[in-house]
Amino acid sequence: MPPRTLHSVVPTRLRLLPHAQCVSRSSVLGRIARRQSTQSKPASTQSHKPEIPIPPPGWIPPRRPPVEASFPKVRVALGVVVIGYAIYVFAFENPQKPVQADSPTLAARDELTKRESGITQNSPMRLRMEQFVKANQKQIVKAIEELDGKQFLVDEWARSTGGGGISCVLQDGNVFEKAGVNVSVVYGKLPRPAIQRMRADHKALDPDVESLDYFAAGLSIVMHPKNPLAPTVHLNYRYFETANEDGSSNAWWFGGGSDLTPCYLFDEDAIQFHKGLKEACEKHDKSYYPRFKKWCDDYFFNTHRGERRGIGGIFFDDLDEGENDQEQLFAFVKDCLGSFLPAYLPIMQRRKDLPYTEQEKEWQQIRRGRYVEFNLVHDRGTSFGLASPNARVESILMSLPLTARWQYMHLPPKGSREERMLDVLRSPREWI
């Protein structure tokens, strides 16, 4: 029988283990070699064998099974022993190189929290904001379905990195040509360049890390009525947070606002809409309404046309601990969102069934074209969404109207209602 070599003793599975999985492979092989050399020493170099005990009277030796060739079984058994020994060495004799398990992602941590304890007042703001926007989505969808008479298509989606969303869209309704009420809850990684850009507004962000986990949750609404005498409305309230490796908050901020875009101006509609927002703002800070109203007029501006998108409302972004504490800002966002239905539903009840002409419908389509221009050229949210990896394009472009029109060199007649509308879009007014 040929002598067994070290190579033949170590099973193929162990020999092919990558270095990362067999840190002490050389030490394992060395120990096996030493054992073999000890076992193969001549009898003269080993201690004498003990005497064989004399069997008791009447003892009958057991029958031995016939000897069979079982080399494969021997190799498997030996392989199990060697691999078991290697695992032992790796686990217990190499404490300086422990196995490093990946830490759970922020999304996994939050899912575990929701399963184990639900969402309470003591939960992280991430989970409370998610619960808040989802509850308001259901409430608003129900109210608009009652107004329109048709139901929304509900499209739920998930992201591989965590989170997902619910897109509720109504098209070709009785009142609305297109209406969308979307919730998104997104988890991901902010790369170093993005962190450095954001530090201009958020000094709490750590500039010395390669990436940070982030969370974003928001509710977005855009509604385009069929009747040109009824106004389009837009709303968005959102929360953004970055997290440390242990899941604790690193930096956070709120953003959002709501604005009205009529094609034909009714002063009472503009006043009612702005009044609701002003009351919500003044519950928290008297400076909020004038400050955020101006921010809205400046933000929703088609610079290439020299026109605002609509008659405004409020807009704010990056509200963090430098503005107020987290609970106060969350309460502010709640009140702003709570003012939406009481302001917009009465306006729609007044306008949705008014008679209109083909000329008025044509003007609505031209104004819809301006709406598209702003969203695709100037809106930061649309640009950010479309530039994100694996962007969900349908949800991002939900804000666009179903139909629009671009008419070459169109100018409204002097003294017309269309011209009055343009004058307000070029020079914003104070409504209250």
Residue 379 burial by Cβ neighbours in a 10 Å radius (0-12, 13-18, 19+): middle
The residues annotated as belonging to the active site are 234
Provide the 3-class DSSP secondary structure of residue 5: coil
Residue 185 burial by Cβ neighbours in a 10 Å radius (0-12, 13-18, 19+): buried
Q: How many angstroms separate the CA atoms of 346 and 24, rounded?
A: 75
Kind plus residue range of the DSSP H or E element containing 350: helix 340-351
Which residues lie closer than 8 Å to 69 by C-beta, 6 or more apart?
none
The number of C-alpha atoms within 13 Å of 91 and in the hemisphere containing its C-beta is 6
Length of the chain: 432
Q: How many angstroms separate the CA atoms of 3 and 7, rounded?
A: 11
Question: For residues 131 and 219, is the Cβ–Cβ distance under 8 A?
Answer: no
Q: How many angstroms separate the CA atoms of 34 and 29, rounded?
A: 9
Q: What are the beta bridge partners of residue 307?
A: 302
